[in-house]
């Protein structure tokens, strides 16, 4: 059974730092992996989707990588800003029925 883990559960860093959020999954047979951001009390915003055939995707200051063989994905945030403070979740699509398997999220705080 596919399981998705995000470590650490919480992270606090000063503004301006480059940082990496981690996501690991137990079964390498995935269709894709998606990173989301959630602000308190709000819905989820899709950040990046990496298909199983891809190694990375970039959007602005965000870069997500995928290593299926090791069951890992990282979300790299460059030059962090207080507005990046949010909970970041990763999810994998593991089979043909379009459902996602979710990590518990990393709560990120960027200190001004």
Partner 1 sequence: DVKVTQSSRYLVKRTGEKVFLECVQDMDHENMFWYRQDPGLGLRLIYFSYDVKMKEKGDIPEGYSVSREKKERFSLILESASTNQTSMYLCASSPHGTGGYNEQFFGPGTRLTVL
DSSP 40-83: TTS-EEEEEEEETT-SEEEETTEEEEEETTTTEEEEEE-S--GG
Residues 78 to 107: which contact partner 1 by CB under 8 A?
Answer: 89, 91, 93, 97-100, 102-105
As measured in angstroms, the least distance from the Cβ of 41 to partner 1 is: 7
Task: Identify the bridge partners of residue 65 per DSSP, sorted by sequence position.
Answer: 56, 74
As measured in angstroms, the least distance from the Cβ of 18 to partner 1 is: 26
Pick 15 or 72: Cβ nearer partner 1: 72
As measured in angstroms, the least distance from the Cβ of 102 to partner 1 is: 5
Largest CA distance in the chain: 43
CB 71 within 8 A of CB 24: yes
Query: How many chain residues bind partner 1 (CB under 8 A)?
Result: 25
Which residues are at the interface with partner 1 (CB under 8 A)?
31-32, 34, 36, 41-46, 49, 51-53, 89, 91, 93, 97-100, 102-105
């Amino acid at each position: 059974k596919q399981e998705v883990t995000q470590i650490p559960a919480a992270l606090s860093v000063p503004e301006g730092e480059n940082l990496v959020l981690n996501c690991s999954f137990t079964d390498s047979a995935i269709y894709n992996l998606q990173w989301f951001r959630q602000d308190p009390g709000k819905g989820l915003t899709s950040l990046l989707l990496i298909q199983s055939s891809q190694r990375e995707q970039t959007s602005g200051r965000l870069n997500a990588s995928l290593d299926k063989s090791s069951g890992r994905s990282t979300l790299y945030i460059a030059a962090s800003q207080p507005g990046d403070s949010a909970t970041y979740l990763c999810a994998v699509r593991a089979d043909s029925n379009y459902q996602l398997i979710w990590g518990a999220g990393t709560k990120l705080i960027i200190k001004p």
